[in-house]
Amino acid sequence: MSVDRVVVNASPLIVLFKSGQADLLPQLFSEILIPQAVWQEVTLPQDDAASQQLPDAAWAIPVEVSVGIATLGTGGVLVLAKRRGLIDSVGDRIQRLQAVGLWLSDSIVAMLKQQAGE
Protein backbone atom coordinates (compact mmCIF):
# COMPACT_ATOMS: atom_id res chain seq x y z
CA MET A 1 0.00 0.00 0.00
CA SER A 2 1.42 3.34 -1.03
CA VAL A 3 0.80 6.30 1.26
CA ASP A 4 1.36 9.73 -0.25
CA ARG A 5 -0.59 11.95 2.15
CA VAL A 6 0.03 11.83 5.91
CA VAL A 7 -0.93 13.64 9.07
CA VAL A 8 1.96 13.87 11.53
CA ASN A 9 1.71 14.07 15.32
CA ALA A 10 4.02 15.99 17.66
CA SER A 11 6.28 13.17 18.90
CA PRO A 12 7.53 12.06 15.47
CA LEU A 13 8.14 15.67 14.44
CA ILE A 14 10.07 16.44 17.61
CA VAL A 15 12.33 13.37 17.56
CA LEU A 16 12.87 13.45 13.80
CA PHE A 17 13.93 17.11 13.90
CA LYS A 18 16.10 16.61 17.01
CA SER A 19 17.86 13.61 15.49
CA GLY A 20 18.39 15.32 12.14
CA GLN A 21 16.05 12.97 10.27
CA ALA A 22 13.03 15.18 9.47
CA ASP A 23 14.15 15.29 5.84
CA LEU A 24 12.87 11.71 5.49
CA LEU A 25 9.26 12.92 5.64
CA PRO A 26 9.19 14.87 2.35
CA GLN A 27 11.18 12.08 0.71
CA LEU A 28 8.54 9.52 1.72
CA PHE A 29 5.33 11.50 1.38
CA SER A 30 4.15 14.07 -1.14
CA GLU A 31 1.82 15.82 1.31
CA ILE A 32 2.61 16.21 5.03
CA LEU A 33 -0.23 17.68 7.05
CA ILE A 34 0.30 18.99 10.57
CA PRO A 35 -2.84 19.51 12.70
CA GLN A 36 -3.04 23.05 14.10
CA ALA A 37 -2.91 21.73 17.68
CA VAL A 38 0.24 19.74 16.88
CA TRP A 39 1.81 22.75 15.14
CA GLN A 40 1.24 24.85 18.27
CA GLU A 41 2.53 22.10 20.58
CA VAL A 42 5.74 21.74 18.59
CA THR A 43 6.45 25.44 17.95
CA LEU A 44 5.36 26.92 21.28
CA PRO A 45 8.51 26.08 23.30
CA GLN A 46 10.77 27.89 20.76
CA ASP A 47 13.89 26.43 22.36
CA ASP A 48 14.61 23.22 20.48
CA ALA A 49 15.30 21.98 16.95
CA ALA A 50 11.68 21.11 16.17
CA SER A 51 10.21 24.41 17.32
CA GLN A 52 12.84 26.36 15.40
CA GLN A 53 12.83 24.34 12.16
CA LEU A 54 9.17 23.38 11.68
CA PRO A 55 7.96 26.89 10.73
CA ASP A 56 10.59 27.02 7.96
CA ALA A 57 9.88 23.52 6.61
CA ALA A 58 8.28 24.16 3.21
CA TRP A 59 6.86 20.64 3.18
CA ALA A 60 4.90 21.03 6.45
CA ILE A 61 1.30 22.11 5.90
CA PRO A 62 -0.68 23.21 9.00
CA VAL A 63 -4.35 22.14 8.75
CA GLU A 64 -7.51 21.40 10.69
CA VAL A 65 -7.94 17.61 10.72
CA SER A 66 -10.97 15.36 11.27
CA VAL A 67 -10.94 11.78 12.66
CA GLY A 68 -10.65 8.50 10.76
CA ILE A 69 -6.98 8.70 9.74
CA ALA A 70 -4.68 5.68 9.47
CA THR A 71 -1.57 5.96 11.64
CA LEU A 72 2.12 5.23 11.14
CA GLY A 73 4.53 5.59 14.04
CA THR A 74 8.01 7.08 13.98
CA GLY A 75 9.55 3.62 13.75
CA GLY A 76 7.23 2.85 10.85
CA VAL A 77 8.59 5.90 9.03
CA LEU A 78 12.09 4.43 9.33
CA VAL A 79 10.95 1.00 8.10
CA LEU A 80 9.25 2.63 5.11
CA ALA A 81 12.36 4.71 4.40
CA LYS A 82 14.49 1.53 4.43
CA ARG A 83 12.06 -0.30 2.13
CA ARG A 84 12.20 2.61 -0.32
CA GLY A 85 16.00 2.71 -0.23
CA LEU A 86 16.33 6.10 1.47
CA ILE A 87 18.33 4.77 4.42
CA ASP A 88 20.71 1.83 4.88
CA SER A 89 19.86 0.80 8.44
CA VAL A 90 16.80 1.09 10.64
CA GLY A 91 18.91 0.08 13.65
CA ASP A 92 21.28 3.03 13.24
CA ARG A 93 18.37 5.45 12.80
CA ILE A 94 16.59 4.07 15.87
CA GLN A 95 19.74 4.72 17.90
CA ARG A 96 19.68 8.34 16.73
CA LEU A 97 16.05 8.68 17.84
CA GLN A 98 16.82 7.12 21.22
CA ALA A 99 19.78 9.47 21.65
CA VAL A 100 17.43 12.45 21.52
CA GLY A 101 14.93 10.98 23.97
CA LEU A 102 12.53 8.63 22.15
CA TRP A 103 11.93 5.56 24.30
CA LEU A 104 11.27 2.30 22.48
CA SER A 105 11.06 -1.08 24.17
CA ASP A 106 13.47 -3.81 23.13
CA SER A 107 10.57 -5.76 21.63
CA ILE A 108 9.50 -2.79 19.47
CA VAL A 109 13.07 -2.25 18.29
CA ALA A 110 13.34 -5.95 17.42
CA MET A 111 10.02 -5.86 15.56
CA LEU A 112 11.04 -2.77 13.56
CA LYS A 113 14.37 -4.33 12.63
CA GLN A 114 12.62 -7.55 11.61
CA GLN A 115 10.13 -5.61 9.45
CA ALA A 116 13.09 -3.86 7.82
CA GLY A 117 14.89 -7.14 7.18
CA GLU A 118 17.69 -6.50 9.66
Whole-angstrom Cα Rg for the chain: 14
Predicted structure pTM score = 0.74
Element (H, E) at 34: strand 31-35
pLDDT digits 0-9 by tens, 36-78 = 888 988 888 778 889 999 999 999 999 987 777 767 788 989 9
pLDDT at 1 over 60: no
Q: Would you say 77 and 24 are in contact if contact means Cβ atoms under 8 Å apart?
A: yes
88-118 pLDDT, tens per residue?
A: 999 999 999 999 988 888 988 999 999 999 9
pLDDT of 84 strictly over 90: yes
